[in-house]
Amino acid sequence: MLAQAMYGREYGQLLADAPLAALNLDARNVTFEAEYYLATDAEQFARVKPLLWLWKNLDLTPVGQNPVTGIPVRRILAGHIFRRVGRDFKCWQNVEFSVGYNMEVGDNVVVHRHVLLDDIGGIELQDGASVSDYVNIYSHTHSVLDGPDVTLRRTVIGRGARITYHSTILAGSVVSDDAMLATHALLRGDIPPHGIAMGLPARVTRFKERPQPEAYGVDSRTHPHDAGRKANPQFPDPTPNQTRVPGEGDL
């Protein structure tokens, strides 16, 4: 498919005419960052790796840049890569995943351009969630003192929640239904239903005026939070607090 989309010829012909170009299209000849992670399931990643490589490279072609063709192709690929994907998933070009197989996506979810979805610890995007351009959503953290000490935490984005331009969500955060994270904000906690969080770090400064529903699908006040799983067997214990306020214990 890549040979036809990028060079207008069959792979065998491209291999004979321009072998370096052809070999670069084969996922067996490349490595992903995830292949260096201890937390990556090698068997699961081997299954999705060619599809992620196809997704990434098609985005560089007219097929991927044209929403009429690119969005349906990504929707098909998501069905074979993600743990779950709902109806009418709309993903624009140049979106990156850590492993892909830990993505859970509901109905009518929209992900815009140049988004990083670090799903190594799991990401949920509930029905109607919207992720704007250049957003980063993480599901792993590193110890302050020991970089190889990695903790995985599932990050949850509720129904109808909006994560806006250039904002960042750290691992384990829960964004409730109908909540919003403002432009350039950094979330390292939760947002309650209908809340609007702004700033660095993000804090809830407003609430949308909505009628209260009978029940929420995701309410950060009651939703189960991921306690965390350690990715590196050299650091099996929970990571203790490793920082202090300036002035405390200074020599």
Task: Give the strands of the sheet with 130-131, arranged side by side.
Answer: 90-91, 110-111, 130-131, 162-163, 180-181, 195-198, 203-207
How many CA atoms within 13 Å lie on the side-chain side of 102? Answer: 25
Looking at residue 189, what DSSP letter applies?
A: S
Question: Which tens digit of pLDDT belongs to each residue from 32-71?
Answer: 999 999 999 999 999 999 999 999 999 999 999 999 999 9
Q: Which domains does the chain have, with CATH numbers?
A: 2-7+15-230 (2.160.10.10)
The predicted pLDDT at position 250 comes to 62
Instruction: Tell me the C-alpha distance between 108 and 224, whole Å.
Output: 24
How many CA atoms within 13 Å lie on the side-chain side of 225? Answer: 15
Given a cut of 70, whether residue 100 has pLDDT beyond it is yes
Percent of the chain at pLDDT above 90?
A: 92
Helix %, strand %, coil % of the chain (to 5): 25, 20, 55
Average pLDDT along the chain = 95
Q: Which helix (H) or strand (E) holds 191?
A: strand 190-191
Give the predicted TM-score (pTM) of the model.
0.94
Strand, helix or coil for residue 230: strand
Question: Which tens digit of pLDDT belongs to each residue from 130-162?
Answer: 999 999 999 999 999 998 999 999 999 999 999
Question: Which tens digit of pLDDT belongs to each residue from 62-96?
Answer: 999 999 999 999 999 999 999 999 999 999 999 99
The predicted pLDDT at position 154 comes to 98
The predicted pLDDT at position 244 comes to 84
Instruction: Tell me the C-alpha distance between 224 and 212, whole Å.
Output: 21
Q: What's at 156, amino acid-wise?
A: V
Question: Which tens digit of pLDDT belongs to each residue from 164-201?
Answer: 999 999 999 999 999 999 999 999 999 999 999 999 99
Instruction: Give start and end residues of each alpha helix (H) in 59-128.
Output: 62-65, 67-81
pLDDT-derived band of residue 249, with 50, 70 and 90 as boundaries?
low
Question: Which tens digit of pLDDT belongs to each residue from 193-223?
Answer: 999 999 999 999 999 999 888 899 999 999 9
